[in-house]
Structure 1
Amino acid sequence: MEGIEVETVTFQMIVEAARNFRNIIKETDFCYSESLSDLTGGEVYLKLENLQQSGSFKIRGAYNKMIHLSDEEKACGVVASSAGNHAQGVAISATKLGIKSTIVMPKSAPFAKIYATRKYGGEVVLEGEVYDEAYQKALEIKEATGATFVHPFNDPYVIAGQGTIGLELLKEQPDLDVILVPIGGGGIASGIALAVKSINPNIKVIGVQTKNAPSMYESVRSGHIESIPVNKTIADGIAVGRPGDLTFPLIQQYVDEIVTVSETEISQAFLLLLENCNLVCEGAGAVSVAAMLSGQLDLKGQKVGAVLSGGNIDINLIESIINHAMIATGRRTEIKVSINHKPGELSAFLNTIAEELGNVVVIRQSRHREGVSMYDLEVTVVVETLDVEHKQRLIQKLIETGYEIEYTN
């Protein structure tokens, strides 16, 4: 059997991929969200690819690529470079098909993702400090072993595999008006857009990128592929500096609009999904919801499908994201004051906060900083409040009581 090579993606390839996935790749739930419907004035449904096998949509494209390899290609194995979801998608797909997989990851990759990739059957090679160095190593392994390189997005079979999500969206809710989908290199967005536009060209497909890595947004705006510097982002799964030459024209043709969202909007979306929907998403997986919260889209009266593309978040990052979101929404604030260093003064300060129903979660005291009077105590507290209005009311009460607030965020 020879491997089948194609240079473009068709709707029929997506339909064929869905047929091949039956009983192998999970058809994830597409659930109504009361919280987001209330917030937007639309009828919002969430596609839960964060609950997919391996924790993201990436298994779809990887598996579809591998089932089209020849017997000889399968015998030589596959190789990929990734610090995240693609690594796990390739590893689990290869294991399902009895193919050896080698995944090159940068040495900076989170331990949890290295462990998960090994757990799914991948042989992990750690190389370099950044992705580009890992990518070059993967190409060296490809040349030395004859293994097939599985690209994370710029491959027709990978795009077709991701496009099966679009078929599932319309199978569950055929009368959708709008679909929101994350964009990194463009694999999932181009696949979904091609699928749904082939069925109903009136559906509006909106891609979402982080402002810290807007390569597709800038490329579409300029009309040609741009290489854009990538800044640090919690949406690392879509932090791609250059779109693919396959995905770019598909995005141009089938995606109606691209919006970008900030780190704060992504963190707020993460917190909303966690608190109101009981869902854990990685930053990239939450950008579709971030777009709804950003105020850029009028979704009133619209039936909306939002793709939550993954849930593989570094557990060490969760507290930082929650804290950032709570500060941005006025639910957590840090206040610093100086009080007289005598019995009862600290208690009186904390009682004033309690009277306004503020919840002190952190308290720090110091007399050792230059500039603090020998008669005073510097007190810094982190206080939880209900919202911005409650926070402002608390600060006003402290000022009226006579406290000189040196700092508040």
Structure 2
Amino acid sequence: MAVPSPLSSAPTGAEYLRAVLCSPVYDVAQVTPLQEMNKLSARLKNTVLVKREDRQPVHSFKLRGAHAMIAGLNEQQKANGVIAASAGNHAQGVALSASGLGIRSLIVMPMTTPDIKIDAVRGFGGEVLLHGANFDEAKAKAIELSQQQGYTFIPPFDHPAVIAGQGTIGIELIQQDAHIDRIFVPVGGGGLAAGVAVLIKQLMPEIKVIGVETEDSACLVAALKAGQPVDLDRVGLFADGVAVKRIGDETFRLCREYLDDVITVDSDAICAAVKDLFEDVRAIAEPSGALALAGLKKYVQQHNLQGERLACVLSGANLNFHGLRYVSERCELGEKREALLAVTIPEQKGSFLKFCQLLGGRSVTEFNYRYASDKNACIFVGVRLTGEQSERQDIISELQNGGYQVVDLSDDEMAKLHVRYMVGGRPAKPLSEKLYSFEFPESGGALLKFLQTLGTFWNISLFHYRSHGTDYGRVLAAFELAGHDAEFEQHLKQLGYDYHDETDNPAFRFFLAG
């Protein structure tokens, strides 16, 4: 196997081009597909293409850079083995690459690393040492062991060989579609963005390369403002694959010189991009894997782009399955297709119905309420939006004109993350109430029918509804009832929905009953 000549500490663009073209990454990596996202393309009025790095053997692009560096080691270095610090994709890339070359690899991972990631590294032939409470402590230990025992430390991004390995994605992109106008790449430590940008600008400088960061981990934006790499005070962990406090020195040098632009997005936009990828190409991306697409969508909107060919890198798919619950909850907000409102309404019969009538034919996605006083009730409500820019404000204005006090919580992170699940509690006074769970067809008018049948005759003292995108909606509701009420039972049958009496449910008794 031919080994490329070592790169200097600050290689020129031409040296990087040569290193990328000679890179040995295809001993282990795949040439991944570039797929068109037909639905999103039609929606954005641009051709959107996604580079499927989730299709690599380790489900991430990180294998490219790790192998490029490991394959370039001399015989003595290979005999001594390699070491890395990582709790994610880099760890698996190093383990698989080293294993394929017959080299010992030791991966230092924080003590808190989930078993699924530890097992994945071992499955690819790596040894695992659990050390430290976080990545920084694990990295310090890895560097210490490399100095003590002679291992070669394989950094995740800030090394010319690693950058060149990631740059092979750029070669594939222009081979697969030479008419691309813009390429969007995620930025964590900057290895992928630097590698793709320096390669593209050597061969087709007319193609724009745009870096995408999360708003709460924007180490490149901070470095550009400061003129040099700086430490962020904190980083957000939702997109953990790009949760980097400080961009690399060499990656910053290249990004500053070769990137055309940088854009930041929030976690809701990332969730919406995860959904887009699933709906268009059936890929389940990790949050950092969907970051570039989220940036692409925002860039199109900001710059009013139309008729262009836009490519983005789906950088990884090593997702914690339970994280999909959060993604599912937030994707509608990321697309600006749901409004969350706190609305004060009078505590009297028929108030719910009047409120829903004011909403017109709009679909209610969530409705949380618990009796608090005889005067007013404060409800937490979600309303699905069609995507028109002024629609959320129009709804608020309509409710205010109807006499309701409204607070917009759509951009309130605490409300979205915590408060929506905590609305309620025990009533302020003893109530004689019965609790029921209902299932009804998830179709327009189903919730309105529920309120028209039951809500104008008996006082509703507790209410929770959340749309989950399934065929059936589920409501939990309590009514003020003194013992058995034959008329109420008749109306339940008239409603025609499946229901169950939950009054004796222990969770209700422990946390919600008066």
Whether the TM-score (by the shorter chain) exceeds 0.5 is: yes
In the TM superposition, 1:10-409 aligns within 5 A as: 10-19=13-22, 20-294=24-298, 295-326=301-332, 329-330=337-338, 333-337=365-369, 369-371=426-428, 373-377=430-434, 398=451, 402=456
Distance in structure 1 (CA, Å) of the matches to 2:218 and 2:75: 39
Distance in structure 1 (CA, Å) of the matches to 2:333 and 2:448: 15
Q: In structure 2, what residue type is equivalent to 1:298? A: N
Residue by residue over 1:83-118, the C-alpha shift from the partner in whole angstroms, topping out at 9 and shown as x without a partner, is 100000110010111111000000111211111011
**CA gap 1:173/1:368 in 2 versus in 1, 3 angstroms:** closer
Q: In structure 1, what residue type is equivalent to 2:128? A: V
Q: In structure 1, what residue type is equivalent to 2:256? A: Q
- Report deviation, 1:223: 2.2
**Rg (Cα) greater in structure:** 2
- Report deviation, 1:182: 0.1
**CA gap 1:112/1:332 in 2 versus in 1, 3 angstroms:** farther
**CA gap 1:181/1:2 in 2 versus in 1, 3 angstroms:** closer
Out of 3, 6, 10, the position equivalent to 1:4 is 6
> Which deviates more, 88-97 or 330-339?
330-339
**CA gap 1:63/1:228 in 2 versus in 1, 3 angstroms:** same
- Report deviation, 1:33: 1.1
Distance in structure 2 (CA, Å) of the matches to 1:181 and 1:380: 47
Equivalence for 1:352: none
Percent of counterpart pairs with the same letter?
34
- Report deviation, 1:396: 11
Residue by residue over 1:123-178, the C-alpha shift from the partner in whole angstroms, topping out at 9 and shown as x without a partner, is 00000111010011101110111110001000000000000100100001111110
- Report deviation, 1:226: 1.9
Residue by residue over 1:205-235, the C-alpha shift from the partner in whole angstroms, topping out at 9 and shown as x without a partner, is 1100011101111211332222113333321
- Report deviation, 1:46: 0.5
- Report deviation, 1:319: 2.0
**CA gap 1:233/1:40 in 2 versus in 1, 3 angstroms:** farther
Q: In structure 1, what residue type is equivalent to 2:199? A: A
Distance in structure 1 (CA, Å) of the matches to 2:254 and 2:7: 19
- Report deviation, 1:333: 3.5
Instruction: Check conservation: 1:49, 1:57, Cα contact below 8 A.
Output: yes
Residue by residue over 1:340-376, the C-alpha shift from the partner in whole angstroms, topping out at 9 and shown as x without a partner, is xxxxxxxxxxxxxxxxxxxxxxxx9xx9824365223
- Report deviation, 1:272: 1.8
Instruction: Check conservation: 2:82, 2:106, Cα contact below 8 A.
Output: yes
Instruction: Check conservation: 1:15, 1:164, Cα contact below 8 A.
Output: no
User: Helix, strand or coil: the match of 1:315?
Assistant: coil
Instruction: Check conservation: 1:323, 1:332, Cα contact below 8 A.
Output: no
**CA gap 1:215/1:380 in 2 versus in 1, 3 angstroms:** farther
User: Helix, strand or coil: the match of 2:322?
Assistant: helix
> Which deviates more, 4-13 or 307-316?
4-13
Instruction: Check conservation: 1:291, 1:297, Cα contact below 8 A.
Output: no
- Report deviation, 1:247: 0.6
Q: In structure 2, what residue type is equivalent to 1:374? A: L
Instruction: Check conservation: 2:10, 2:250, Cα contact below 8 A.
Output: yes
User: Helix, strand or coil: the match of 2:307?
Assistant: coil
User: Helix, strand or coil: the match of 2:217?
Assistant: coil
User: Helix, strand or coil: the match of 1:296?
Assistant: helix
- Report deviation, 1:268: 1.1
Runs of 5+ in structure 2 lacking a partner? 339-362, 372-420, 467-514
Q: In structure 2, what residue type is equivalent to 1:287? A: L
Distance in structure 2 (CA, Å) of the matches to 1:332 and 1:185: 41
Q: In structure 1, what residue type is equivalent to 2:308? A: Q
> Which deviates more, 286-295 or 185-194?
286-295
Q: In structure 1, what residue type is equivalent to 2:255? A: I
Runs of 5+ in structure 1 lacking a partner? 340-363
- Report deviation, 1:4: 3.5
Residue by residue over 1:227-281, the C-alpha shift from the partner in whole angstroms, topping out at 9 and shown as x without a partner, is 1133333211001110111011111111111111101111111122123320011
TM-score by length of 2: 0.68
Distance in structure 2 (CA, Å) of the matches to 1:35 and 1:191: 30
User: Helix, strand or coil: the match of 1:285?
Assistant: helix
- Report deviation, 1:405: 8.0
- Report deviation, 1:290: 1.1
